[in-house]
């Protein structure tokens, strides 16, 4: 059927009919059957406004896709950083738990409390504590020394945060396995009164043993014991001061010293004990959290922390044992040689460790701080 120059095929779809009409007739399109035929064989194009809107929408989609991708990448990297930090924490806490589970309370325990001012730390202070004690268990020297690996059931172990690189340090753990093998050379003469040889012993992973018994170690002359603690722990028990020149450290040029590394990227190692009398953990720099250091358990000059002094507890049955704290704990003084282990301030039934650990990429600003409690009355 034909009418006014328009071909109508009812059996053909309207859209297809429009296309055919556009091919057959080159004149001005006429609205037929709800469709508009093509002009000159071509569809009508988008307007400028429609084109700009389409470009804008496409740009928004691209930007949003980039944001989503960036967030996904950052989330993945942060998750890996947290996993790295938690792995370091697990290594430290497992070793602390194993060593303190076998703590020999009839032996000798030294805990030194060192604090540094740090505006970026919680409370404005950071703790670099250290400890040394005897423990029981199964021990093996990491290095062969002169006659192969050394095994023993008792060891003297020490923990200390070594020299810092930037804001981060390395948590060092050394152990000296007690042995009665007289064929082994004596690492340090027990009468040595200079801290240098004692420090070298703590740093040298090739001699992770001690030929002295616990009793012989405890009965060392006081000048030698003072030198040993200063060399290994960096605290002078005579003057109550800290000397950062001493203590075990990690020498990058010496592969053997890597055996001393418990974890790197640690910026705080804090040791506290529960006080039944005060019903809080001690020592604390600002016990009531009011910003004043008048009640500081360590040492302060006015309202400024004294970084040169170190508090400590030196538990031993010998007369040299003592507790050295600031005025915040002045009322807890005890006669250490005759006191019960659980009554000594700084020891007690539990120790709380506070650790600040960082990731290797520096994604977690300031690191993450954890607390871990080990019960000593098990």
Q: Could you state, in chain order, the average pLDDT of each consecutive group of 10 residues for the chain (378 residues)? A: 44 52 49 50 68 86 87 87 96 97 93 91 89 94 68 94 72 92 88 91 81 92 94 93 87 74 93 89 89 86 87 86 75 66 86 96 92 90
- What 3-state DSSP class applies to 165? strand
pLDDT attached to residue 122: 81
Residues 6+ apart with CB under 8 A from 251: 203, 257
pLDDT attached to residue 310: 92
> If we measure between CA atoms, which residue out of 140, 168, 350 comes closest to residue 268?
168
pLDDT attached to residue 154: 95
- Strands 280-282 and 109-113 come out as unpaired
Residue 135, beta-bridge partner list: 103, 155
pTM recorded for the entire structure: 0.79
pLDDT attached to residue 247: 86
pLDDT attached to residue 284: 92
- What 3-state DSSP class applies to 179? coil
> If we measure between CA atoms, which residue out of 240, 174, 172 comes closest to residue 202?
174
79: number of CA atoms within 13 Å, CB side?
6
Q: What DSSP string runs through 251-276?
A: -TT-GGGGGGEEEEEEEEEEEEEEET
């Amino acid at each position: 059927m034909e009418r006014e120059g328009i071909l109508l095929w009812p059996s053909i779809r309207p859209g297809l009919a429009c296309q055919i009409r556009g091919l057959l007739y080159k004149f001005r399109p006429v609205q037929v059957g709800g469709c508009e035929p093509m002009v000159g064989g071509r569809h009508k194009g988008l307007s400028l406004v429609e084109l700009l809107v389409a470009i804008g929408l496409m740009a928004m989609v691209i930007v949003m896709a980039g944001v989503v991708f960036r967030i996904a990448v950052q989330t993945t990297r942060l998750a890996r950083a947290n996993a790295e930090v938690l792995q370091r924490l697990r290594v430290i806490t497992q070793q602390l738990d194993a060593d303190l589970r076998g703590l020999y309370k009839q032996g000798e325990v030294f805990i030194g409390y060192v604090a540094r001012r740090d505006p970026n730390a919680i409370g404005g202070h950071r703790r670099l504590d250290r400890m040394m004690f005897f423990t029981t268990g199964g021990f093996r020297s990491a290095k062969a020394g002169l006659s192969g690996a050394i095994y023993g059931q008792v060891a003297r172990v020490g923990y200390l945060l070594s020299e810092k690189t930037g804001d981060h340090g390395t948590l060092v753990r050394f152990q000296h396995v007690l042995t009665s093998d007289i064929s082994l050379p004596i690492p340090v003469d027990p009468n040595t009164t200079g801290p240098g040889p004692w420090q070298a012993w703590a740093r040298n992973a090739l001699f992770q043993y001690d030929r002295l018994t616990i009793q012989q170690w405890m009965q060392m002359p006081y000048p030698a014991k003072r030198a040993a603690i200063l060399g290994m722990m960096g605290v002078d028990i005579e003057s109550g001061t800290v000397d950062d020149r001493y203590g075990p450290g990690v020498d990058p040029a010496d592969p053997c010293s890597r055996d001393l590394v418990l974890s790197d990227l640690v910026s705080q190692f804090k040791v506290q004990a529960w006080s039944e009398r005060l019903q809080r953990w001690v020592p604390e720099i600002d016990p009531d959290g009011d910003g004043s250091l008048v009640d500081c358990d360590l040492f302060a000059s006015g309202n400024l922390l004294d970084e040169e002094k170190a508090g400590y507890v030196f538990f031993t049955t010998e007369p040299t044992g003592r507790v050295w704290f600031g005025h915040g704990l002045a009322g807890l003084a005890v006669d250490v040689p005759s006191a019960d282990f659980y009554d000594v301030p700084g020891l007690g039934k539990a120790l709380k460790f506070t650790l600040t650990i960082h990731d290797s990429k520096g994604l977690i600003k300031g690191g993450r701080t954890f607390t871990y409690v080990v019960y000593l009355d098990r």
